[in-house]
Chain A
Amino acid sequence: METIKKSFFVSLWFMLLTFPIMVIRVNTIENVVEWRWANLAWIGVGSFALSLLWQYMIARQGGEGSGEQEQEEDKLSFLQRLTEDRRLNRPVLGALLVLAGVFPLLFSTYQTTIMIQALIYVVLGLGLNITVGLVGLLDLGYVAFFAVGAYTYALLNAYFGIGFWMALPMGALLGALCGMLLGFPVLRLRGDYLAIVTLGFASIVRVILQNWDQVTMGPSGVANIPRPGLFGVHLNIYQATDYIYYLVVILMIIVVFITARLKDSRIGRAWVALREDEIASVAMGIDMATVKLTAYSLGGALAGLVGVISAAQTTFVNPDSFTFMESAIILSIVVLGGMGSILGVILAAFVLILLPEYLRAFSEYRMLVFGASLVLMMIFRPEGLISNVRRKYELHDVPEEAGS
């Protein structure tokens, strides 16, 4: 009863709160006011229901913390077992590989293009996962590195006629350099300052791309970027799309492999240690500067790499494709998937990119839902949809019989 009363007041409060913005729309040109009373009713009903749900969830979360947590920790979800158990994951991986291999043969070029898009975001998500998920440095300007990669290919091609395969390593290199460039001044900064500086860095990159007309061709962008060539064979647009698709699939597999191995390497352990406690890990002899800069440059390199591929796929780049919203989407992928978890990031990228693509009616509300989900995830499931499995060594009690 108490909760219903509370929800009632919450819904009244929200009806008041959203009243001017949801209900009234003033047309200043024709001087008419449009009253949308229906919205008020929706808000009232919606917030009442959400408030009930909210209170239920909060109560459940509080209850869980006391007793059941101990048990929950040992149980792994099915998807987590999938990543851990070799007998399980080999056949699944094989099936996925086959599916990925035949995908362009089964589906239309349009579907393949969307899939390329999703795969590009997978790689971006994995790249950002290094800085945000493993090292715990919130980077709000990740799209800047992507832009660097895309513009590397676009401009080098426009001015010097450099081909795709030459541009690919250069994009990665420049992305890594930019990562270092950003990394140096912010080494000492704590999480919240860092977030703002990275946001600023991305804005600077975009403003430069927009205003440095002589070099970057300004707001209109660079058009007619050639698609990658295949040993001099001329490909038509359909073949080229399939070709790029396979390139991205291969790149994704390499990136997944590298990040998975890195996570368990010396440097990966150092990243996680820095995330957990910076002072302690520096005291234990981790070279903070090197470790952080490696993370930045690696993340930058990955974004630069896919930037080149993305420019080759769309054959067109302009500054407007690299706004803060892109960074926010990539961040949502990492947060939703579970910071540090590779499988989670991959799944989240597919969900977040493919869903709005297939549910067109929904795509208008995409950013609204992303924003809300960032908040909700932090409150109810901060470890993400598929949380990262922490490797730990446990000292089990020796069974009684063995001792006697």
Chain B
Amino acid sequence: MDYFWQLFFSGLTQGAIYALIALGYTMVYGIILLINFAHGEIYMIGAFSALIVAGVLTIYGFHGFSILVIAALVAVFYSSAYGYTVEKIAYKPLRNSTRLAPLISAIGMSIFLQNYVQLSQTSDFLPFPSLIPADWNFMGPLGQYLEASDEIILVTTVVVMIILTLLIKYTRTGKAMRATEQDQTMARLVGVNVDRVISATFIIGSALAAIGGVLIASKVGQINFYMGFMAGIKAFTAAVLGGIGSIPGAVLGGLVLGWAESFATGYISSAYQDVFAFLILVLILILRPSGILGKARKQKV
């Protein structure tokens, strides 16, 4: 039973990270019906920015918690900036073209960003400083299953989700986002600046990905330019699993995927960890393409 709980909690933390990235996919998809393939790379850039800032700060003698906060803030800023710029360059000019065009453009962007980081930084794994002190155990009895970094991941994810929900429910931007999601033309008619809403969506999604990137990097302890690729695909799987376009769905999908992976690797085989995610994706697309919480979109002719 002990082993079970161990797997349960490792799945939970992994799932929380998937959920953070999946939110970016699901929000963008909800509004412009595009799979933002470059989202995984935004997450990677967040982790890299944090690593660079943390490295510089460590050398200049900053300590522990202040580094974590500053690095995370810088990562959030840079990821959002990249997300915003990617949208302006690669997707905005293609708003009115065929469906295939923005998709190919997104893949191109993803390849470009990967190689940009690889060429200007390094293609090796970089050690990520452990920014979260290991003796921080504030969850009492659960501490036997959770490391300090896991606890921080869970708490941060919950806080971020709450902020996001409030943002979407109650602020002006949030209302505009929901309106754009329902009907873009109609939203434009009632005075919503759709371009700005789309930019806001990309910025929020990228910021969430950056938080995920910093958290997972300080837990795993190493990063490289390729980290966004797998994480991106899995987060997308999570978004589809929960029902793409649905925000609670993305969270649920992330958790389910995290658990499924954790239990499958724990009880079946660890060599095929990446295969499980894809099998789940294929199965869900065949059996219930709209996902767990998603609504089936009617196709209009």
Contact surface of A with B, Cβ cutoff 8 Å: 13-14, 16-18, 20-22, 24-26, 28-29, 31-33, 39, 58, 132, 136, 138, 140, 185-186, 188-193, 195-197, 199-201, 203-204, 207-208, 211, 279, 324-325, 328, 331, 335, 364-365, 367-368, 370-379, 382
Check: B296 CB closer than 8 A to any chain A CB: no
Q: Given contacts A25-B121, A58-B93, are A193 and B240 in contact (CB under 8 A)? A: yes
Contact surface of B with A, Cβ cutoff 8 Å: 33-35, 37, 45, 48-49, 51-53, 55-56, 58-59, 74, 78, 81-82, 85, 89-90, 93-94, 97-105, 107-117, 119-122, 126-127, 129, 229, 233, 236-237, 240, 271-272, 274-275, 277-279, 281-282, 285-286, 289, 299, 301
Q: Given contacts A185-B286, A193-B289, A195-B35, are A211 and B272 in contact (CB under 8 A)? A: yes
Once the chains are docked, how many angstroms separate the CA of A382 from the CA of B97?
9
Closest 4 CB pairs of A and B: A374-B108, A26-B55, A371-B112, A371-B111
Asked if residues A17 and B85 are in contact (CB atoms below 8 Å), the reply is: yes
Task: Please name 18 pairs of A and B residues whose Cβ atoms are closer than 8 Å in the assembled complex, sorted by A.
Answer: A22-B120, A26-B55, A28-B127, A39-B120, A185-B282, A189-B285, A190-B99, A196-B35, A200-B237, A200-B282, A204-B278, A211-B272, A365-B119, A368-B115, A371-B111, A375-B90, A379-B93, A382-B97
Minimum C-beta distance from B235 to chain A (A)? 11
Q: What residue of chain A has the Cβ atom nearest to residue B35's Cβ?
A: A192
Please name all residues of chain A whose beta carbon is closer than 8 Å to the beta carbon of B99 when the two chains form the complex: 190-192
Q: Given contacts A200-B233, A207-B272, A368-B116, are A191 and B81 in contact (CB under 8 A)? A: no
Please name all residues of chain B whose beta carbon is closer than 8 Å to the beta carbon of A204 when the two chains form the complex: 274-275, 278-279
Please name all residues of chain B whose beta carbon is closer than 8 Å to the beta carbon of A203 when the two chains form the complex: 233, 274-275, 278
Please name all residues of chain B whose beta carbon is closer than 8 Å to the beta carbon of A376 when the two chains form the complex: 108
Minimum C-beta distance from B83 to chain A (A)? 11
Minimum C-beta distance from A55 to chain B (A)? 12
**Other-chain residue from A191, A196, A324 in contact with B281 (beta carbon distance below 8 A):** A196
A contact patch SS: helix
**Other-chain residue from A17, A185, A197 in contact with B78 (beta carbon distance below 8 A):** A17
How many A-B Cβ pairs are below 8 Å?
174
Q: Given contacts A26-B55, A28-B129, A331-B104, are A192 and B74 in contact (CB under 8 A)? A: no
Once the chains are docked, how many angstroms separate the CA of A214 from the CA of B301?
52
**Other-chain residue from A13, A190, A279, A368 in contact with B112 (beta carbon distance below 8 A):** A368
Asked if residues A374 and B104 are in contact (CB atoms below 8 Å), the reply is: yes
B contact patch SS: helix
Asked if residues A279 and B289 are in contact (CB atoms below 8 Å), the reply is: no
Once the chains are docked, how many angstroms separate the CA of A365 from the CA of B56?
28
Asked if residues A378 and B102 are in contact (CB atoms below 8 Å), the reply is: yes
Asked if residues B272 and A138 are in contact (CB atoms below 8 Å), the reply is: no
**Other-chain residue from A16, A28, A374, A375 in contact with B89 (beta carbon distance below 8 A):** A375
Once the chains are docked, how many angstroms separate the CA of A367 from the CA of B115?
7
Sample of 12 further A-B pairs with CB below 8 A, known A207-B271, A368-B111: A18-B120, A20-B49, A20-B53, A21-B116, A138-B100, A186-B285, A195-B35, A195-B103, A196-B233, A364-B119, A365-B115, A365-B119
Please name all residues of chain A whose beta carbon is closer than 8 Å to the beta carbon of B59 when the two chains form the complex: 26, 31-33
Q: What residue of chain A has the Cβ atom nearest to residue B126's Cβ?
A: A28
Minimum C-beta distance from B241 to chain A (A)? 12
Asked if residues A197 and B282 are in contact (CB atoms below 8 Å), the reply is: yes
Minimum C-beta distance from A15 to chain B (A)? 12
Please name all residues of chain A whose beta carbon is closer than 8 Å to the beta carbon of B116 when the two chains form the complex: 21, 368
Minimum C-beta distance from A125 to chain B (A)? 15
Once the chains are docked, how many angstroms separate the CA of A20 from the CA of B55?
11
Q: What residue of chain A has the Cβ atom nearest to residue B297's Cβ?
A: A190
Asked if residues B52 and A21 are in contact (CB atoms below 8 Å), the reply is: yes
Q: What residue of chain B has the Cβ atom nearest to residue A370's Cβ?
A: B111
Q: Given contacts A195-B103, A196-B35, A378-B94, are A373 and B108 in contact (CB under 8 A)? A: yes
Minimum C-beta distance from A193 to chain B (A)? 6
Asked if residues A20 and B74 are in contact (CB atoms below 8 Å), the reply is: yes
Asked if residues A374 and B111 are in contact (CB atoms below 8 Å), the reply is: yes
Asked if residues B112 and A191 are in contact (CB atoms below 8 Å), the reply is: no
